[in-house]
Structure 1
Amino acid sequence: MPILEALNEFKKMRVVPFDVPGHKRGKGNKELTDFLGERCMSVDVNSMKPLDNLCHPISVIKEAEELAADAFGARYAFFMVNGTTSAVQSMVLAACKEGDKIILPRNVHRSVINALILCGAIPVYVNPEINHQLGISLGMTLSGVAQAIRSNPDAKAVLINNPTYYGICSNIKAITELAHQHGMLVLADEAHGTHLYFGEDLPLSGMAAGVNMASVSMHKSGGSLTQSSFLLVGEGVNPGHVRQIINLTQTTSGSYLLLSSLDISRKNLAVNGKAIFTKVNQMAQYARDEINQIGDYYAYSRELINGDTIYDFDVTKLSVNTLDLGLAGIEVYNILRDEYDIQVEFGDIGNILAYISVGDCQRNLERLVSALAEIRRRYKKQDKSGMLQFEYINPEVVVAPREAFYADKEALELKRATGRICSEFVMCYPPGIPILAPGERITEEILESIAYVKEKGCSVTGPEDMDIEYLNVLKGV
């Protein structure tokens, strides 16, 4: 753990700090030091010779990157401290420039579309199919990607979610091989796939499938601190160019708390990952079995696999459908949090997701199962009329995201916005998949969906109007 070891050596040196940060190892901010602890504050330091420099690593960070690349089976690994959002954006910006086309599913995280706004690339969407029972979008089909490639042979890259928030996986190996045959790069958003690199009996990881770049949220299932991630680089990409792209947006003051957490967590997974994720799989399966015995809930898993839209399923994901209960997923989410002090990852129109990883235990899962059983007894509705079924609506893209985002715009009340072209995002967060993105036409169906998720208590984000009463639309269009 080169970064951790360098920090421990640095602490022994008793260096007098006439540099930043200004709290001077915690001495200048007692309340913060009391809250975080002296050990934490003493290593919240700036780049210096013995600690290397994240923007241009030549010693301990370089060594840590090499160890991470080896652990993940990549050629190169970059430490990311601006979150996986920054890793995704760097990946897209390294592959595409203004006017380039990129093939991707529409159910991507907003960070992907943000990257298109930054670089001016043009999205070619492969609209995912819908599972009508669960109300969720699925993976990209190989035939859908093939059709997009035939129609857009000049596209520069294909982006794949591996897996989706719900655990759905596309046929990443076949899609990668197809894209490479046509000279296109393949980018994997693996924000929810760290464990695929270390566990057994799990879907194929991006690097194992041969993708060119993958963004991995180490903090989600790998145990590092929030906001810390890796950008992995495989064959066919110039790593020097990738680092230059990263340095366009990533801070020049990389947090050594985040860097060391990546270093420590990488070592833990490299040594213990197989055992850790075997246990995670067992806990998730236990919870699924117990929840499915309650009735009216459906904790789904590999039985959904069809070899196409659901090529594989990530069994660590405890995704639970709530529609048969007569409750939206967000309603169950809110009841769990407000009445049972249980915080699950998210609730949407028809599902909740309980994120199970390295830090979970059997006792807490039993508490979740018990709470869900009680919620069914107390809140089940016989009348299920008026419930929306789907969390994804196929968009009509009229204008490129960058053009729409920077265009002249006006604010309209939601009810008056039908037929206009949106110039901003509307999404529930989490998961951060846009209901509307810049450049897409606003329809009655979309407005009904926005009204529904607001009524049910989803955290709706994106618009300039924080109350989500108005939407910015393109002027005169």
Structure 2
Amino acid sequence: MHQLGKQVPTNMLALLASGEIASNSAPGRAATRLQEELAQRRIDLITTVSSDDASAMLRANPAIQCLLLNWELPGSGHPPALNVLEQLRARNLHLPVFLLADRETVSNMPRRALELANDFIWILEDTPTFIGGRIQGAIRRYSQAVLPPMFAALTHFSHVHEYSWHTPGHTGGTAFLKSPAGRAFYDFFGENMLRSDLSISVTELGSLLDHTGPIAAGERYAAKVFGADRTYYVTNGSSTSNRVIVMASVTRGQLALCDRNCHKSVEHAITMSGAVPTYLIPLRNHYGLIGPIPPDQLTKAAISEAIVNNPLAGSADSPRAVHAVITNSTYDGLCYNVRRVEELLGESVDRLHFDEAWYAYARFNPIYRDRFAMYDSEDDEPHTGPTKFATQSTHKLLAALSQASMIHIRDGRSPIEHGRFNEAFMLHASTSPLYSIMASNDVSAAMMDGPGGTALTGESIAEAVAFRQVLARLKREYGEKGEWFFDGWQPDQVTEPSSGQKYAFHSAPTELLCSEASCWLLNPGDSWHGFGELEKGYCMLDPIKVSITTPGMQRNSQLAEWGIPAGIISKYLDNLGIIVEKTTDFTILFLFSIGITKGKWGTLINALLAFKRDYDANQPLSQCLPNLLAKHSGYADMGLRDLAQKMFNRMKELRSTAKMSAGFSALPQADCSPVQAYEALVRGEVELLPLSQLAGRSAATGVIPYPPGIPLLMPGENFGSEGSPALEYLRVLESFDREFPGFGHDNHGVEVHKGHYHVYTLNRGTAP
């Protein structure tokens, strides 16, 4: 291992694509001499002899810093070398490319090739030393230009500064070398991560709180890439980003319109700000999946009616809302037409806030056109609509580190200038942010910049479509034999827009599904989505958020005679090392991020087939769910099918899916505002009660089944009567958890004592 503080030079990397590399010819011998020269300059040279191999290598190895391309390269394409160039530039505009050709060839070369290449090498005329120097210079310029501003400054600083006298106390990692545990930590995470863990005292990198220096340059760069007027880096996740926006925009005594399908961080922000919430209720379908807020709920008349019917609105300073929060896309991948939402809500509010935590990639693929907050305007006129905010968790489906998030702002009516907004930002930001998190935001922006973003998102969509079609094909083939299999939540058939040709989903052209947004629209009345007569074009399913459906739930919202609860499949997959994103009664969500591979989803298909075999054979749980039996021996004598049927029968008796939908669709009576309930909690004016005593009482905290972290009740809301939808659903969860240990639900705001749910409620007489 090298000494701490000493950087070991990393070799540069180039690719030589030529069919004459190994030949005993003048070009072959010249290529050998060039390779020897490059090795002396610490430039490793990878070689390939065909256009197909060259393109594959460029796709697979982004560490390549230069391409040396023989114009006479054999392979596919007309000509093959031009095919390599076009495929490269579809992903990377800046990689230096030297064409190996003679002057006569260049004079007859297509104009397109001249546009895509950077320079020429006369390998039989110029010396290896001269050519090597040009390649080395091009690689160095590329390496400096490819890094985004903040990350470039951070890498430079970590290379130059040897000693630190500031925090953090490990001083670049040296403290860890003084104990065995510390040394193990150092070896695990590596020197560069520790050397880049710096203090806000390092003025060379600027300040996250003041938005100066390279950090500010990174935020400006990200704003350009993501289409915002301003962007702020956040190191505490989109939960904090949501709190910053709400607390900068709306305060005590002001009305805020709030998507009831909001993450609990929005609930926290409403509580902290003292805002008075008026809720917008989204649809639910037969699976209990959250749909969009119908457009007729967003009209000026509907918003006015919702405010009039809000018992808390009388405490507001004005009947006009100042802020609105919409979740886009939803956890299950439903994306609004944001132009339409802006048109509707813009009549009622001057600030629109889109929680796009799971949707940071949308700008970079044309299939999502107009379905994200920072969509491109059709003209260069100043934005006259509402001021728009978007929060994006760059760590969720881009490539940033955990807790990395961005706030994007596009100013319109009622803007919040930087100085005022930054006060809310500083209220939540740490004075000791982790620089590697900020740098990963920088790199996420760089990965999406230019054609790279389109290529990466296109690959995610293509992999998701391939998986969906395999799943649909297997469903059809098993169905033809009278057997069951899993299905995907997606359209049954799609239509090619120009020809009107209809295709069953499994047999549709892949390119059509990967590029045509109309294939993913929730068309009015389509039974597959279950949200009724939605406005045409209003809502679209994101192809990369794949919900697998399990047998048991029918489209008429009735349970079948038999079924397989999704929780059992998630447990089975977990036993195989496959961790799912979200599980409902009959759906399992998988996210096809930019890190997905064919091998990864191919393994998932194999696991689903293995589950079917084990289920059909009623395989003993000791063999297929050993992790479950290790903790809960009560299942010891059961087979996989036995457990599934027992659990399904109980869910049918409890009507768990229907009661979930009812619980989330009914808006409880608000006895006081969230901030008033929280203040009572802090003062201790609360009591912890079991479900049997909650009727008629007000919740002191949010009650939030997780995932996805959507409030069933907000602080200050009443549990309702003994048979209210909220209490009925909580009783279902409590009963199920007691009967099926190991399959329990995670409910924030609920404490479990001896198998019984308890919730903090306001003391009687506390609620105003």
Q: Give the TM-score range, shorter chain.
A: over 0.9
Which residue matches 1:243? 422
Which residue matches 2:334? 168
State the distance in 2 between where 1:124 and 1:257 align.
39
Say if 2:522 is the partner of 1:356: no
State the distance in 2 between where 1:270 and 1:14 align.
30
State the superposition RMSD in angstroms. 2.2
**Long gaps (5+) in structure 2:** 1-147, 177-182, 308-318, 377-384, 476-483, 491-519, 525-533, 553-561, 616-639
Partner deviation per Cα, 1:23-54 (whole Å, 9 max, x = no partner): 11111122321221111111011121111110
1:438: how far off? 1.3
Which residue matches 1:471? 759
Say if 2:597 is the partner of 1:335: no
TM-score by length of structure 2 reads: 0.59
**Long gaps (5+) in structure 1:** none
Q: Report the more deviating stretch, 134-143 or 200-209.
A: 200-209
Report SS of the residue matched to 2:433.
coil
Which residue matches 2:488? 299
Amino acid at match of 1:99: G
Partner deviation per Cα, 1:239-291 (whole Å, 9 max, x = no partner): 33222211101111111010111111110111311011111111111222222
Query: Relative to 1, partners in 2 of residues 1:453 and 1:313: Cα closer, same or farther, differing over 3 Å?
Result: farther
Which residue matches 1:142? 295
Say if 2:637 is the partner of 1:368: no
Which residue matches 1:281? 461
Which of 234, 256, 259 aligns to 1:80? It is: 234
1:180: how far off? 2.4
1:347: how far off? 1.1
Which residue matches 2:205? 51
1:208: how far off? 1.0
State the distance in 2 between where 1:144 and 1:108 align.
16
Amino acid at match of 2:668: E
1:103: how far off? 1.3
State the distance in 2 between where 1:45 and 1:89 align.
26
Query: Relative to 1, partners in 2 of residues 1:99 and 1:446: Cα closer, same or farther, differing over 3 Å?
Result: farther
State the distance in 2 between where 1:239 and 1:454 align.
48
Partner deviation per Cα, 1:429-476 (whole Å, 9 max, x = no partner): 332112333122223323224326645624514227365631101111
Identity %: 25
Report SS of the residue matched to 1:159.
strand
Query: Relative to 1, partners in 2 of residues 1:112 and 1:441: Cα closer, same or farther, differing over 3 Å?
Result: same
Partner deviation per Cα, 1:287-328 (whole Å, 9 max, x = no partner): 222223334533123264434396112111111222527233
Which residue matches 2:674? 401
Q: Rg larger in 1 or in 2? A: 2
Structure 1 ranges of 4+ moved more than 6 A: none
Query: Relative to 1, partners in 2 of residues 1:266 and 1:410: Cα closer, same or farther, differing over 3 Å?
Result: same
Query: Relative to 1, partners in 2 of residues 1:20 and 1:221: Cα closer, same or farther, differing over 3 Å?
Result: same
Partner deviation per Cα, 1:61-117 (whole Å, 9 max, x = no partner): 111111100001100000000100011111111221012111122121100000011
Query: Relative to 1, partners in 2 of residues 1:372 and 1:395: Cα closer, same or farther, differing over 3 Å?
Result: farther
1:226: how far off? 0.7
Q: Report the more deviating stretch, 463-472 or 171-180.
A: 463-472
Amino acid at match of 1:4: F
Query: Relative to 1, partners in 2 of residues 1:112 and 1:449: Cα closer, same or farther, differing over 3 Å?
Result: farther
Q: Report the more deviating stretch, 60-69 or 206-215.
A: 206-215
1:395: how far off? 3.1
Q: Describe how 1:379-398 pairs up with structure 2 within 5 A.
A: 379=640, 381=644, 384=649, 385-386=652-653, 387-390=655-658, 391-392=660-661, 393=664, 394-398=666-670
Query: Relative to 1, partners in 2 of residues 1:168 and 1:458: Cα closer, same or farther, differing over 3 Å?
Result: farther
1:124: how far off? 0.9
Q: Report the more deviating stretch, 386-395 or 38-47.
A: 386-395
State the distance in 1 between where 2:422 and 2:594 align.
30
Report SS of the residue matched to 2:460.
helix
Amino acid at match of 2:678: F
Amino acid at match of 1:313: L
State the distance in 1 between where 2:523 and 2:396 align.
24
Which of 679, 683, 688 aligns to 1:411? It is: 688
Partner deviation per Cα, 1:113-138 (whole Å, 9 max, x = no partner): 00011001111111112112x22121
State the distance in 1 between where 2:733 and 2:295 align.
31
State the distance in 2 between where 1:323 and 1:448 align.
24
State the distance in 2 between where 1:376 and 1:397 align.
45
Which of 317, 321, 325 aligns to 2:549? It is: 321
Equivalent residues of 1:79, 1:230 under 8 A apart:
yes
State the distance in 2 between where 1:150 and 1:349 align.
36
Which of 360, 371, 396 aligns to 1:220? It is: 396
Q: Report the more deviating stretch, 424-433 or 299-308.
A: 299-308
Q: Report the more deviating stretch, 359-368 or 349-358.
A: 349-358
Partner deviation per Cα, 1:386-421 (whole Å, 9 max, x = no partner): 352244422303222111222221111122223321
1:21: how far off? 0.4
Which residue matches 1:36? 189
State the distance in 2 between where 1:128 and 1:165 align.
13
Q: Report the more deviating stretch, 216-225 or 299-308.
A: 299-308
Say if 2:599 is the partner of 1:446: no
Query: Relative to 1, partners in 2 of residues 1:162 and 1:283: Cα closer, same or farther, differing over 3 Å?
Result: same
1:182: how far off? 3.3
Equivalent residues of 1:142, 1:175 under 8 A apart:
yes
Q: Report the more deviating stretch, 18-27 or 377-386.
A: 377-386
Report SS of the residue matched to 2:751.
coil
State the distance in 2 between where 1:176 and 1:66 align.
25
Say if 2:197 is the partner of 1:21: no
Which residue matches 1:311? 539
**Higher relative contact order by CA 8 Å / sep ≥ 6: 1 or 2?**
1
Equivalent residues of 1:219, 1:228 under 8 A apart:
yes
Equivalent residues of 1:168, 1:312 under 8 A apart:
yes
State the distance in 1 between where 2:686 and 2:166 align.
45
Report SS of the residue matched to 1:130.
coil
Query: Relative to 1, partners in 2 of residues 1:261 and 1:459: Cα closer, same or farther, differing over 3 Å?
Result: farther
Query: Relative to 1, partners in 2 of residues 1:125 and 1:329: Cα closer, same or farther, differing over 3 Å?
Result: farther
Which residue matches 2:372? 205
Q: Report the more deviating stretch, 386-395 or 180-189.
A: 386-395
Amino acid at match of 2:243: Q
Which residue matches 2:634? none
Report SS of the residue matched to 2:278.
strand
Amino acid at match of 1:281: I
Partner deviation per Cα, 1:345-376 (whole Å, 9 max, x = no partner): 12123321111111110111011122123324
Equivalent residues of 1:142, 1:171 under 8 A apart:
no
State the distance in 2 between where 1:475 and 1:400 align.
15
State the distance in 2 between where 1:445 and 1:16 align.
62
Equivalent residues of 1:421, 1:473 under 8 A apart:
yes
Equivalent residues of 2:158, 2:192 under 8 A apart:
no
State the distance in 1 between where 2:196 and 2:609 align.
45
Equivalent residues of 1:330, 1:458 under 8 A apart:
no
Query: Relative to 1, partners in 2 of residues 1:312 and 1:96: Cα closer, same or farther, differing over 3 Å?
Result: same
Report SS of the residue matched to 1:25.
helix
Amino acid at match of 1:177: E
Amino acid at match of 1:249: H
Say if 2:332 is the partner of 1:96: no
Amino acid at match of 1:10: F
Equivalent residues of 2:567, 2:583 under 8 A apart:
yes
Say if 2:238 is the partner of 1:10: no
Which residue matches 1:184? 350
Query: Relative to 1, partners in 2 of residues 1:196 and 1:103: Cα closer, same or farther, differing over 3 Å?
Result: same
Report SS of the residue matched to 1:206.
coil
